[in-house]
A and B are shown apart, each in its own frame.
Chain A
């Protein structure tokens, strides 16, 4: 149940939340930019007719974004429950 966190608890809570944020931000950066830096080389590989570089920009990264959003939601829920600060 909900309660006001102490100074130390707040620091620990925000530390975990920040760590999750930076992890997902790094993956976001990878799927938004880094993977497409290699589009020319990836296009040499073909899967089901798709050149891989094209596939990543048209579908692969998009799937990754959807997964990242749901993953963030569930991981943050776990952190909230661990500290007893979920609002549901």
Chain B
């Protein structure tokens, strides 16, 4: 077949193809730089960047269209370890990582490093506990494994419910990210921008499923990592003379520490577990470690990540691929603290204490209405020039004090090109990178949700006799429905929901981690114990999520001193023992393990056939020996 031949020549020439792609992209950026030099307006450059990159993703999506079930669900299990690593990197790093994380580090200092640690360390768990065994099992989805391991539809349905709860809140946050970037660079209304983003997402995934998403994600990773590194490398060269920001921001940290003393900042940037006055604080330490645990365990449980390891040609490559994934993710995450440090140094050195009339120009350009990401709030009417200043009263002495300076977290990455005095084309590049990050994550999540519905619910439970054509039509229809629904929710709820990302980790960690790990590592665990584990873990997590978020005062009345009320997101949110409710997984994860262990004490062990099946997935070579009742492959 011509298609198969083209496919294999594509796989043999991956290196060449992506090298040409990277070169063309660099040429495209230089070309836009020349256009800018000749006076083409910024807005047109912004449009060219966004539509040309989406156009490339669409082209890859169309070229990767497929009519085969295994290509649609697992990219034909032909993705080499290195490329699967890049695709996982793009799948993993969302708008929150690309734009938001440096901002959290700017404000949180050491505390923000919980995200850097939590969003990397989980891959060690994926590598040793999960990926190779799920790959050997060799079916299509994570609920497939739960259903096969724990005796059928009850376990499968629970896994689907947990998958959808975690992935849907996550995908909504991604579309919000796409909306923020497109509305900012194209000047569109936020709701319209969410639907523009939706088109970008659907063209990548609809025709080719996992195959198309994989090859688009590789392309998106290349753009996002180039876009992330270039501004901060140049900034580092300017500030320290050496273009290696990851090593050189130590110098910036030293200068920041000195300036903190001069400016009277009580809580230092590098101070660990400190309260606002800079003293050691136990609650802050507990929250730091609780968040790390939830994010790491969540990493090892999120289905859109685990399913990426179903696509490698072998178990061995699945393991290598986890290493590559983490390496590609690491490149961005160990750079984020450098962004935060250089931005803080710029602010402390060149902004605070300056006359309002002598501020650098980036303050005015990023502070104007429409962007409103920074503000110099000295004069009483500062809010007219800088909308972000609303509610801040300056002393009007013409000098900018620390308390009069406002900056939005997103500004750290977005404004760095301009802080470093780079041409607008670099700012456009950063926008394209942020868009690539948000689109690629949204693609992976939507596919995970649509596959759970079409494969696990429709094919496995409703119509097991459906033919290939019908299954693929159903998958595509469901994908589009879920995508439109997610875009609608994003457009309606708006930008205040990015904290949902952290919830997704707690939900997945509580519901799936124990059942998956014990399913592989505890041979005797029987059907009832697995079902109990998912039910209790998910139930406990959702119970604490909903009660702490929406019934804070009632909880305080019932439980008294162990509850602290914190006013955030326009609500009175309850913190149990001072623990921030984004880390509710801290209750759900142990509950799931405990439930599985207790129920196992009183119910039947796994059958000998089931134990033989587990032995067969523990070893890379040989057939998977399915137990009675499990359906054969595909």
Q: Choose one: A13, A48, A62; the contact of B330 (CB below 8 Å).
A: A62
Residues 15 to 63 of chain A near chain B (Cβ within 8 Å):
17, 20-21, 24-25, 28, 31-33, 36, 39-40, 43, 46-51, 53-55, 57-59, 61-63
Inter-subunit contact A21/B323 (CB<8 Å): no
Contacts of A5 in B (CB 8 A): 619
B334 within 8 A of A: yes
User: 1/0 per position for B242-262, CB-CB distance to A under 8 A?
Assistant: 000011011111100000000
Contact partner, A28, options B124, B253, B270, Cβ 8 Å: B124
Cβ of B629: which chain A residues have Cβ within 8 Å of it? Answer: none
Chain A, residue nearest B240 (CB) = A49
A31 touches B337 (CB 8 A): no
Distance (whole angstroms) from the CB of B81 to the closest CB of chain A = 9
Least Cβ–Cβ distance between A16 and chain B, in angstroms: 12
Q: Is the CB of A72 within 8 A of B121?
A: no
Interface pair B316/A25, CB less than 8 Å apart: no
Question: What's the dominant secondary structure at chain B's contact region?
Answer: helix
Q: A10 CA to B254 CA in the complex, in Å?
A: 55
CA distance A78 to B136 in the complex (A): 18
Contacts A51-B253, A73-B322, A87-B316 given; indicate if A36 touches B289 (C-beta within 8 A). Answer: yes
A57-79 contacts to B (CB < 8 Å): 57-59, 61-63, 65-66, 68-70, 72-73, 76-77
Cβ of A49 and Cβ of B254 under 8 Å apart?
yes
Bound Cα distance A32, B125 (Å) = 11
- How extensive is the interface on chain B, given as a class? 35 or more
B480 at the binding interface (Cβ < 8 Å): no
Cβ A39 vs Cβ B272 within 8 A: yes
Contact A85 B619 (CB under 8 A): yes
Chain A residue numbers with a CB within 8 Å of B127 are: 24, 68-69, 72-73
Q: Given A10-B615, A69-B322, A80-B620: A25 and B128 within 8 A (CB)?
A: yes
**Interface-located stretch among B110-118, B158-166, B386-394, B434-442:** B110-118
Query: B289 to chain A: which residues have CB within 8 Å?
Result: 33, 36
The contact size tier of chain A is: 35 or more
A66 CB contact (under 8 Å) in B110, B293, B327, B621: B327
Q: Which residues of A contact B212 (CB under 8 A)?
A: none
The reply on B455 being an interface residue by CB < 8 A is no
Give the CA-CA distance A5 to B293 in the complex, in Å.
Answer: 37
**Quick one: which of B121, B288, B293, B621 contacts A2, CB cutoff 8 A?**
B621
In the complex, A33 Cα to B314 Cα: how many Å? Answer: 33
> How far does the alpha carbon of A43 sit from the alpha carbon of B317 in the complex, in Å?
39
Chain B contacts for A53, CB-based, 8 A: 110, 270, 272
CB pair A57 B110 closer than 8 Å: yes
Asked whether B273 lies within 8 Å of A39 as measured between CB atoms, the reply is yes
Which residues of chain B from 441 to 497 have a CB within 8 Å of any chain A CB? Answer: none
* Complex A-B: 23 CB contacts under 8 Å: A1-B621, A2-B622, A13-B619, A25-B124, A32-B117, A40-B273, A48-B250, A57-B113, A58-B113, A62-B116, A63-B330, A63-B334, A65-B120, A65-B124, A68-B124, A69-B322, A69-B326, A73-B320, A77-B316, A80-B621, A85-B622, A87-B316, A88-B316
Q: When A and B form their complex, which 10 residue pairs have the shortest distance between CB atoms, in order from nearest? A: A49-B250, A2-B621, A39-B272, A57-B113, A69-B323, A87-B620, A50-B250, A73-B319, A70-B323, A85-B621
A-B contact sample (17 more), CB < 8 A, given A62-B333, A72-B124: A2-B621, A5-B619, A14-B618, A24-B124, A24-B127, A28-B121, A36-B272, A65-B124, A66-B326, A66-B327, A68-B124, A72-B323, A76-B319, A80-B620, A85-B621, A87-B315, A88-B314
